[in-house]
Amino acid sequence: MTTIADRLADAHQRIAQAAQNSSRDSREIQLLAVSKTKPIDQIVAAYDAGQRLFGENYVQEGEEKINALRESHGDIEWHFIGPLQSNKTKSIAEHFDWMHTLSREKIAKRLSEQRPSHLAPLQVCIQVNVSQEQSKSGVNPDEVAHLAEIIASLPRLTLRGLMAIPTATDDVALQQAEFSQMQALFEALKQQHPSLDTLSMGMSQDLEQAIAAGSTMVRIGSAIFGARDYAKA
Ligand SMILES: *Cc1c(COP(=O)(O)O)cnc(C)c1O
């Protein structure tokens, strides 16, 4: 039987191989284990195999898991990677360490106001709508610099970088074009904000292409925890 520990080791192996193929140091690339829809015992299994960064998509589900594991597994770093309704910002500000899907000025200001003073600033990435699909969330590439300025001025947020969910496609050329566009955007933004260190892109199916284009954090769900039982919107 393949265990979560085995699949986690496989994911690390894929990351190491992809890094080597693009002459990168694999220590530059973090693995975010996406545990959405998965029960707490699977998170603990990954934790016991050494995993510390976990990503959740749904505010309430994430909050429940964070509360359940706070005492026993206090060194987990929790990342919110889902689409956000504006009435849920308070829960994110109070529970998560990171937020990858920031794309609106109003939400940024609210998160900064709602971040409790006893916690470190919320670490954020701007989500970019790199595929420019109407249905996708995220800011257009030409709006990134403006939103970055605003976030950088907010006291309780720390801007870390950019995040993207490229078009789901078998068209490798299109995929590479979108990852490359993200890499160029990230490099350009670093001219203004030299402390940025996070390019959040790559999932179970496409982590190799993402790493070739400079990803520093791959978000891996099904390759670690298996297929999700049900798809939520
Ligand atoms: C679900 C999800 C992932 C993980 O996807 P897998 O294909 O299961 O690896 C990564 N990023 C985001 C934003 C997700 O919603």
Distance, CA 221 to ligand 1 centroid (Å)?
5
Q: Rounded distance, CA 131 to CA 150, Å?
A: 24
CA of 224 to the centre of ligand 1 (A): 11
- Which CATH architecture best describes the domain 4-226? Alpha-Beta Barrel (3.20)
173 three-class SS: helix
List strand residue ranges (DSSP E) for 40-121, in order: 53-56, 77-80, 98-102
- What is the residue extent of each domain of the chain? 4-226
Cα-to-centroid distance, 67 and ligand 1 (Å): 22
What angle separates helix 40-48 from helix 4-21, to the nearest 10 degrees? Answer: 60
Q: Is the dihedral of CA 216, 100, 135, 148 positive or negative?
A: negative
Predicted confidence pLDDT, tens digits, the chain (233 residues): 799 999 999 999 999 999 999 999 999 999 999 999 999 999 999 999 999 999 999 999 999 999 999 999 999 999 999 998 778 999 999 999 999 999 999 999 999 999 999 999 999 999 999 987 767 789 999 999 999 999 999 999 999 999 999 988 889 899 999 999 999 999 999 999 999 999 999 999 999 999 999 999 999 999 999 998 765 43
Q: What is the C-alpha to C-alpha distance for residues 195 and 190, in angstroms, rounded to an integer? A: 7
Residues near 103 by Cβ (< 8 Å), separated by ≥ 6?
Answer: 126, 127, 129, 137, 138, 139, 147
Q: Which atom of ligand 1 is nearest to the CA of 163?
A: 13
